[in-house]
Amino acid sequence: MKAGEPVLEFRLIERIRELTAQPRDDVRLGIGDDAALLAVPAGKELAVAIDTLVEGVHFPRGTAAADIGWKALAVNLSDLAAMGASPAWALLALTLPTADPAFVEGFAAGFAQLAQPHRLALVGGDTTRGPLCISVAVHGFVPPGKALTRAGASVGDAVLVTGTLGDAAAGLNALQQPRRDDDPHARARDFLIARLNRPLPRLAAGTALRAQASACIDISDGLLADLGHICHASGVGAEIDAALLPRSPALLQLHDDATALHFALSGGDDYELCFSVPTHRLADVQADLARLGCGVTRIGRIVEGSGVRVRGHDGAWLPTDRQGWEHFA
């Protein structure tokens, strides 16, 4: 019944620190004391978020340790991306059933693989014994008053998304099917599973959108739910066209149109950005994201009212009463 600092804590946190070590002169005191000491650069606001992954809820049992390490950081960096913030520091709280050195090494490697290119420093952590559960808190910088929020979408704005939608849900579906050696769709499945396990937070896109988008969110719960959050926070509604939703070749190879549409609308875990843009800035946004190599698709528009409506291929509104997924349904 004690908080503590076990040997493993030192080893794991130290291992990730080694792997993510990089000079940041804003870290005055890193891992190893009761708290880290950090200096926010002058003229910057701090953007801060926390997210938890629980085994069997946010990733299937059997997920590789390196994938868990990557994803635990990715879902948090995605929150910074949605604010237009640049990542700086992370804290890690890892609860593990046993002191498994192979898990620790794999987790650290996956975490570090994503941290390194973003110059993200791990500045603190806590390791405890218990059911597998990971919380990461991330800190990023943004110029004062320039962050993207969910509020700010205006009637007439275009609604856009980065990348493709529904891949992660299809990846989870693929994991739940028995694997066959002679699977003709093996490459498509692998692509979709990688989209589930190794999401790429849209940080560069988020920064580029800071001066352009009127509202922004990352798609963690599914397009309908997350665009619904923008509508609620902005006091508007949205209409999207099913025919415009960007779907990957792999998704369409493995699923019929109705299933692919369901995944694209309601599947979570894609960690793409959904955002609104005044139409006069549309061309600039599309050019900016193209320069970054980030796919972007206009899928609808902001309207008066509330909630999200989806126009089907035949022009009729689809029934969309299920606006997302609840952990405690």
> Which residues, 283 to 302, sit near its own copies by CB under 8 A?
none
Among 128, 286, 297, 320, which residue interacts with its own copies (rule: CB under 8 A)?
128
What residues from 249 to 288 belong to the interface with its own copies (CB under 8 A)? 267-269
Shortest Å, Cβ 220 to its own copies? 4
Report if residue 7 touches its own copies, rule: CB under 8 A. Answer: yes
How far is it, in rounded angstroms, from Cα 316 to Cα 191? 33
Q: Name the one range near its own copies by CB under 8 A: 47-55, 183-191, 275-283, 287-295.
A: 47-55
| 3-state SS class at 158 | strand
Contacts of 228 (CB under 8 A, 6+ apart): 307, 308, 323, 324
Question: How many residues form the binding site for its own copies (CB under 8 A)?
Answer: 91
Among 16, 49, 200, 308, which residue interacts with its own copies (rule: CB under 8 A)?
49
Looking at the Cβ atoms of 134 and 250, the one nearer to its own copies is 134
Task: Judge whether 112 and 20 are in contact, CB under 8 Å.
Answer: yes
Report if residue 14 touches its own copies, rule: CB under 8 A. Answer: no
CA separation, residue 246 to residues 161, 231, 235, 252 (Å): 8, 21, 26, 11
Show the DSSP H helices in 132-256 as ranges.
Answer: 167-176, 186-197, 203-209, 223-234, 249-254
How far is it, in rounded angstroms, from Cα 117 to Cα 112? 9
Q: Which residue is it, tokens 């999401």? A: 199
Report if residue 322 touches its own copies, rule: CB under 8 A. Answer: no
Report if residue 21 touches its own copies, rule: CB under 8 A. Answer: no
Looking at the Cβ atoms of 219 and 277, the one nearer to its own copies is 219
Strand-pair partners of 298: 160
Among 56, 235, 249, 305, which residue interacts with its own copies (rule: CB under 8 A)?
56
Looking at the Cβ atoms of 28 and 291, the one nearer to its own copies is 28
Task: Judge whether 166 and 247 are in contact, CB under 8 Å.
Answer: yes
Report if residue 222 touches its own copies, rule: CB under 8 A. Answer: yes
Q: Which residue is it, tokens 């693929």? A: 174
Among 79, 157, 167, 288, which residue interacts with its own copies (rule: CB under 8 A)?
79
Shortest Å, Cβ 307 to its own copies? 16
Looking at the Cβ atoms of 99 and 244, the one nearer to its own copies is 99
The distance of Cα 258 from the centroid of its chain, to the nearest Å, equals 25
Report if residue 177 touches its own copies, rule: CB under 8 A. Answer: no
Report if residue 46 touches its own copies, rule: CB under 8 A. Answer: yes
Among 14, 24, 64, 93, which residue interacts with its own copies (rule: CB under 8 A)?
93
C-alpha closest to that of 318 among 264, 276, 270: 264
Report if residue 75 touches its own copies, rule: CB under 8 A. Answer: yes
Contacts of 140 (CB under 8 A, 6+ apart): 46, 47, 48, 80, 83, 85, 86, 87, 88
What residues from 131 to 150 belong to the interface with its own copies (CB under 8 A)? 131, 133, 135, 137, 139-140, 142, 144-145, 147, 149-150
